[in-house]
Amino acid sequence: MTSASTQVNAPTPSVPGELKVIQDATCTFCGCVCDDIELTVKDNHITEAKRACVLGKAWFLNHSVEDRPSCLIEGKPATLSEGYDRAAQILTSGKYPIIYGLSDSPCEAQRVAVSIADWISGTIDTTTSVCHGPSGMAFQGVGEVTCSLGEVANRGDMIIFWGSNPAESHPRHFTKYSLMPKGMFLPNGRKDRTCVIVDVRRTKSAKAADIFIQIKPKRDFEALWTLRALAKGIELDPELVHRETGVEFSVWTDLMERMKACKFGVIFFGMGLTMTRGKHANSEALLALTRDMNAFTRFVAKPNRGHGNVTGADNVVSWRTGYPFGVNHSRGYPRFNPGEYTTSDTLANGEADCAMMIACDPMANFSQPAREHLSTIPLIALDTKETPTTRAATVAFTVATYGINTGGTVYRMDDVPIPLRPAFPSPHPSDYDVLTAIEERVKRILGVTG
């Protein structure tokens, strides 16, 4: 019953030599998912991307349709149909198939990927497991007090970035959502806000801060618990705090006073927190601090998510299986166990015997043992361009780029779903098309009629 109705919007081809303008296009480069981009298209090339940031401009303007076959089997050009057959055969003959990636695919394609994992009793995992997976686990421990980005723009008078460097990772974050906007209750924009940045190094974002706090590397947990203690009025040893966090005690007490005095505080946190010593314990400390602050004022927290639709992946996997990532179906029903069913671990443990990688590049960024194992098993890869992973793949599909060549739905980092307005068509199939074709074959092989 996979979303027979879900037709991913097809763009109209442009007339040679004519300019086409796409209003309110959505940039899927990062989790900000800016949906106010004005694209100018000429001869199937984007010539202008108004309002896009430096990353967004690079994303749109450098986009060209890959001049390579839509399908390669063992490095040789093949028809799509042959590729679908081979992919389905690989996925249905494995004892421990895994499907991974998804954070640069629209929700429509993600849903099909979860279906396939279900039919083949495989594992479904997303890049969340290597970025904010620890935040997801922390969330399961303490919950989260949060809000949509428009709330930050309209109300946030104290903005803290912790282990996050939006000036480089989310360049429009400051101007569009967090620092500069003149919001409903903040008529003077930046002047009405206090910005605090906590990091282990002086990042490019630090310039934007009213207060920059440089903590000792790997001491986020201690710093956050210092604040939790101060919030509750627990007496601390200033010397010890200084030694453990690398920051004068008075800086922390001053910060806590400001946090209590603000009207609507926001903490954005990044992988500088989640992927350093402590991981989910760090995220949990930050989420708990935010919760605690609501005894004094309003305070919210939000992970600054990276990939364009990693938030959609969390949502789709959750609504279909009940768990956000790292979900295994080997018993016929979903089970969740980060560290076991998360792909980097499954591969490093030498457990998976075939894999499908969707819009991700584990051969470039996974650990050595994981890459070594991945290179020994049949592999299917879907990507818009050639990567170390597609090069290693038994079956490699070149797919159209979401948001540029294909439509669909993307969830912004604050769970707001946004439709895509593609600019021009691609000769390659979308990942939705490829996955749907593979799913049909998988179902036929397994005798599934649902």
**Which residues between 274 and 333 bind other proteins (CB under 8 A)?**
291, 294-298, 300, 314-316, 318-324, 329, 331-333
Would you count residue 29 as binding other proteins (CB under 8 A)?
A: no
Instruction: Return the residues of window 32-71 that contact other proteins according to CB under 8 A.
Output: 35-36
**Residue 409 touching other proteins (CB under 8 A):** yes
Which residue, 126 or 203, is less far from other proteins as judged by CB? 126
Per the CB < 8 A criterion, the answer to whether 342 and 133 are in contact is yes
For residue 262, which amino acid is it? C
List the interface residues with other proteins, window 331-370 (CB under 8 A). Answer: 331-336
Considering beta carbons, is residue 50 or 68 the nearer one to other proteins? Answer: 50
The two three-digit tokens of residue 38, written as one number: 């004005």
Residue 63, SS3? Answer: coil
Q: Which stretch binds other proteins (CB under 8 A): 153-161, 193-201, 207-215, 389-397?
A: 153-161
Residue with Cβ nearer other proteins (2 or 426): 2
Nearest to 205 by CA among 272, 279, 282: 272
416 binds other proteins (CB under 8 A): yes
Give 22 or 360: the residue with its C-beta nearer to other proteins: 22
Question: What are the Cα distances from residue 411, in Å, to 165, 194, 393, 397?
Answer: 21, 28, 29, 25
Span 118-147, contacts to other proteins by CB under 8 A: 118-119, 121, 136, 139-147
Q: Residues touching other proteins: how many (CB under 8 A)?
A: 79
In the complex, minimum distance from the CB of residue 358 to other proteins, in angstroms, rounded to a whole number: 18
Instruction: Identify which of residues 110 and 394 has a Cβ nearer to other proteins in the complex.
Output: 110
Classified as helix, coil or strand, 24 is strand
- Cβ proximity to other proteins: between 45 and 298 the closer is 298
- Residue 152 CB, nearest distance to other proteins (Å)? 8
78 scored as a contact of other proteins (CB under 8 A):
no
Shortest distance in whole angstroms from residue 145 CB to other proteins? 5
For residue 434, count CB atoms less than 10 angstroms from its CB and return exposed for 0-12, middle for 13-18, buried for 19 or more: buried
Site string for other proteins, 87-116 (x = CB under 8 A): --------------------x---x---x-
H or E element in which residue 105 lies? none
Task: Give the shortest CB-153-to-other proteins separation in angstroms.
Answer: 6
Half-sphere exposure of 78 (CA within 13 A, CB side): 18
CB of 197 to other proteins, least distance (A): 22
Q: Which is nearer to other proteins, 30 or 396 (CB)?
A: 30
Q: What are phi and psi of 310, to 5 degrees?
A: -65, -30
Tell me whether residue 15 is exposed, middle or buried, using C-beta atoms within 10 angstroms of its C-beta: 0 to 12, 13 to 18, 19 or more: exposed
Contacts of 129 (CB under 8 A, 6+ apart): 325, 326, 338, 342, 343, 344
450 binds other proteins (CB under 8 A): yes
- DSSP state letter for 271: H
The stretch near other proteins (CB under 8 A) out of 92-100, 149-157, 160-168, 188-196 is 149-157
Strands 123-126 and 327-328: antiparallel
Least Cα distance to 110 among 435, 439, 381, 438 occurs for 435
